[in-house]
Amino acid sequence: MSHKQVLLAVVLFVSGAVLPRPATATKYVVGDADGWRPGGDYTTWAKGKEFRVGDTLEFKYVKGQHNVLNVTGPDFQSCTVSTTSLLRDSGADVITLKAAGKKWYLCGVAGHCQRGQKLVITVLPAALAPQPTPVPSPPYPSPPAPAPPTPPAPTPVPPVEKAPPATSGALPTTVFPSAALAAAVVAVAVAAMA
């Protein structure tokens, strides 16, 4: 293998097998298919999820029927609608989590917060840069990485063979291609000169 081919093989292997996944922000749809509504269980929905700075929350609901307020912990507990709360009411409110810590959201429509339309989450700092070994040791061995495709072998260039020494006793029974080629070239050259 030439250096070029080795390099190509390494590039194919790296890009196909061990390239780390890019760290992307996660988009959470609050309540998933149920959306943002009274009677939703957003404590259960948030359970086990890892919210990080840079992730987004999307509150989906019928515009005009609900809204989204970003409130304090005490207001969250008491379902108090503060006039200074961040209000979103587009029906598809995307909120980017910009700082770590607890965040409290509720619907400001009368009675909805009391009926469970409230969400508290804990936002973690942004994920660190990709680690060299981000995967925890799995309980079972990982499947072997697929072998990189073998690039087609180049057409071998026959080395220029020197004519066997005239004193050689045993003459070859086969004619070397290069010898035949040389003979043909000589023949053509002679013909051209004639």
Which of 46, 179 has the CB closer to Cu ion?
A: 46
Cross-strand bridge partners of residue 97: none
CB of 21 to Cu ion, least distance (A): 37
Which of 56, 65 has the CB closer to Cu ion?
A: 65
Phi and psi torsions of 44, nearest 5°: -65, -40
Which of 81, 107 has the CB closer to Cu ion?
A: 107
Binding mask 11-30 for Cu ion (x = CB under 5 A): --------------------
Run of H or E including 188 = helix 177-193
- Residue 141 to residues 27, 104, 138, 148, Cα–Cα distance (Å): 31, 42, 7, 20
Binding mask 78-117 for Cu ion (x = CB under 5 A): -----------------------------x-x--x----x
CB of 89 to Cu ion, least distance (A): 10
d(CA 28, CA 95): 10
CB of 30 to Cu ion, least distance (A): 12
Q: Is 57 one of the binding residues for Cu ion (CB under 5 A)?
A: no
Cα dihedral across residues 167, 170, 175, 178: positive or negative: negative
Q: What is the 3-state secondary structure (H, E, C) of 148-175?
A: CCCCCCCCCCCCCCCCCCCCCCCCCCCC
Q: Is 66 one of the binding residues for Cu ion (CB under 5 A)?
A: yes
Binding footprint of Cu ion, residue count (CB under 5 A): 5
Q: Is 118 one of the binding residues for Cu ion (CB under 5 A)?
A: no
Run of H or E including 94 = strand 92-96
CB of 117 to Cu ion, least distance (A): 5
**What letter would DSSP give residue 139?**
S
Which of 95, 107 has the CB closer to Cu ion?
A: 107
Which of 38, 148 has the CB closer to Cu ion?
A: 38
- What does the binding site for Cu ion look like in residue numbers (CB under 5 A)? 66, 107, 109, 112, 117
